[in-house]
Amino acid sequence: MIKKLGLIALIALCSISAWAQNADAILGKWLNSTGEGQIHIYKKGTKFFGKLAWMKEPNEANGKPKLDSRNPDKSLQSRPKLGIELLKNFTFDGDDSYEDGTIYDPKSGKTYSCKMTVKGDVLKVRGFVGISLLGRTENFTRVK
């Protein structure tokens, strides 16, 4: 009986470990669909976040950093775009999908509900308002 319980515990532990590894498949850098920026996705506790880690053109013509000038919060409009946390509070749902997060678009200054799905080296990012049906999907590619 004790051997059976030990075996069951071992199987459960291996399953949890495999699930955690699968959840971390999203970690790393991803090039956005236009090739203008890279998002570094990382983990805080059990949630996933992403910040703008690289921009093709991080500076204005005058050499100063591009700013988050369209942000609706006036106190944030003077911060550089590079380094902004664009993806926030995603949870792994167990099927290569990450849900219940938001994505911030610095070009428009708007924040959208978002879900993401990893398929190998492609990250499908779907931003939407209200329901997922009312949105847009972009494919990011893993930076190696």
Indicate if the pLDDT at residue 15 is higher than 80.
no
Domains located in the chain, CATH noted = 2-142 (2.40.128.520)
Beta-bridge partners for 45: none
Indicate if the pLDDT at residue 30 is higher than 60.
yes
Per-residue pLDDT of 32-84, as tens digits, reads 999 999 999 999 999 999 999 999 999 999 999 999 999 999 999 999 999 99
Indicate if the pLDDT at residue 12 is higher than 70.
no
Indicate if the pLDDT at residue 124 is higher than 70.
yes
Specify whether the backbone of 94 is left (phi greater than 0), alpha (psi in -120 to 50) or beta: left
Please give the pLDDT value at position 6. 41
Q: How confident is the model at residue 21 (pLDDT cuts 50, 70, 90)?
A: low
Average pLDDT (91-102) is 95
Q: What percent of the chain has pLDDT over 70?
A: 85
Average pLDDT (16-21) is 44
Please give the pLDDT value at position 105. 96
Measured distance CA(41)–CA(53) in Å, rounded:
9
Please give the pLDDT value at position 2. 60
Indicate if the pLDDT at residue 109 is higher than 50.
yes
Measured distance CA(14)–CA(10) in Å, rounded:
6
Q: What are phi and psi of 18, to 5 degrees?
A: -65, -40
Indicate if the pLDDT at residue 13 is higher than 80.
no
How high does pLDDT run on average in the chain? 89
Which parts of 24-96 fold into alpha helices (H)? none
- Which amino acid, residue 46? T
